[in-house]
Amino acid sequence: AGGDLLNYVRKRKKLDEEEAKVLFKQIIQGLGYIHKKRILHRDIKLDNILLDGKGRVKIADFSAAYIG
């Protein structure tokens, strides 16, 4: 519903520090979770970070992931 983070940032030109902190924290928590499950994403970029309707981060595109 919210699209990807690349378009989100482009639309706003820049993010204020508080909003960036919230998004970055969610990304780090998500990566921490998948790493605990022994999954390495290997293609983290703004296009692969999605936002749901409430602005929560969803990590997408695990096609290049390594599962160990």
- Does pTM top 0.85 for this prediction? yes
- Range 15-19 average pLDDT: 96
The one catalytic residue in 4, 16, 43, 52 is 43
Q: Where are the alpha helices (DSSP H) in the chain?
A: 5-12, 17-36
CA 66 to chain CA centroid, Å, is 18
Q: In the chain, what is the greatest distance between 2 CA atoms, to the nearest angstrom?
A: 38
pLDDT band at 63 (very low <50, low <70, confident <90, very high): very high
Active site residue 43: yes
Q: Give the per-residue pLDDT at 1.
A: 82
Q: Give the per-residue pLDDT at 19.
A: 96
Rounded alpha-carbon distances, angstroms, from residue 9 to 17, 51, 53? 13, 11, 16
Q: What distance in Å separates the CA atoms of residue 35 and residue 33, rounded to the nearest whole number? A: 5
